[in-house]
Amino acid sequence: MPRALVTGGAGFIGSHVADRFLAGGYEVEVIDNLSSGRRENVPRAATFHEVDVGSSEAGHIVRNHGFDVLIHLAAQIDVRKSVADPVRDATINILGTLGLLEAVRKAERRCRVVFTSTGGAVYGTFANPPTPEAHPKEPESPYAISKLSAEYYLAYYFQLYGLESAVLRFGNVYGPRQDPHGEAGVVSIFCNRLLEGRALTVFGDGLQTRDYIHVADVVEAAWLGATRPLPAEHGLDSRAFNIGTAIGTNVLDLASHLQRAAGTNVPLEFAPKRPGEQQESFIAIGKARRVLGWAPRVTLPEGLANTYEWFAANRLTGATGKS
């Protein structure tokens, strides 16, 4: 059987990726330190290692367990935390990734690396959406810088060692298992607020747009990035793929969709715009269609309804995250 390693596999996206590879006939191992992931998210059929992605133990697993593909999702993903502590952000996102690449390079059995990056932050404020992969990169936070730095290391390891990799630049991923606390996205926060009957906080005028992509579509992109032939390598963006919808949805419309899904109506509370927040951000996805045969399948109303239903069902069991 082919073998896959999923870093961050106890987390929101990673656990869904582990499910997909098990369903696709892979033996799956998961690395996660449970700093934000949850043990119960890991599929029972997967082998779980509670280790830090930057540890020597993680390197040993990569070198010696004979994987065909490494899907690297473990990361520090909070932009605000990256600003407050850029050293920690770089330690996890750059040095952690570099340690894994060194382990892959030294392994007797080389594997393809699927690296998850960001489809908004690497392009920066002055991008003209929908933004294509080849757009100039103008990262404006330590988080974005660390993700782009890891992409450069991947390109370097291909040039020097022939290490095969694909980069997936995600839009704003939402869906079941997203934690409404901690490093949370707006969809999960709004779902939690609706269930509690609390007002939805909107920063700024609420007209800022983001590219909201359902986790099921992201998971299929990870599968295709791991299993499809890749184009010839000729620079940073040649094997990078935007994974989104190419549709910008503003926060007011997002709130309206979720209110309908919940069958309820809570007030909106407006707060000052957060410093440095992009006003418009959504990404072009034509390359993923052409090369990987990937396209988003879940519409925003369907995805938000599915996500709210999951939050409602799991809130009753206390399974939606940390309190």
Q: Chunked in runs of 10, what are the mean pLDDT values of the chain (323 residues)?
A: 98 98 98 95 98 97 98 93 95 98 95 96 88 94 96 97 97 94 81 95 95 98 97 93 97 97 95 82 96 98 97 73 39
- Domain assignment present for 121: yes
Same domain, 94 and 239: yes
Same domain, 158 and 198: no
Q: Report the predicted TM-score, pTM, of the whole model to 2 decimal places.
A: 0.95
Distance, C-alpha 79 to centroid of its chain: 13
Per-residue model confidence (pLDDT) at position 197: 95
- Domain assignment present for 32: yes
Hey, CA dihedral for 230, 233, 235, 236, is it positive or negative?
A: positive
Query: What's the token pair of residue 289?
Result: 């269609």
Compute CA distances 229 → 103, 200, 233, 235, whole Å.
23, 44, 12, 17
Q: Are 7 and 72 in contact (CB under 8 A)?
A: yes
Q: Percent helix, strand, coil in the chain (nearest 5)?
A: 40, 15, 45
Decide which of 223, 243, 263 is a domain's last residue.
243
Same domain, 199 and 220: no
Per-residue model confidence (pLDDT) at position 119: 92
Per-residue model confidence (pLDDT) at position 323: 29
Domain housing 229: 3-172+212-243
Per-residue model confidence (pLDDT) at position 322: 40
So which residues are the catalytic ones? 143
- Domain assignment present for 274: yes
Please tell me whether the peptide bond between 130 and the residue prior to it is cis, using omega within 30 degrees of 0: yes
Per-residue model confidence (pLDDT) at position 277: 74
Per-residue model confidence (pLDDT) at position 127: 79
Same domain, 73 and 188: no
* Total number of domains constituting the chain: 2
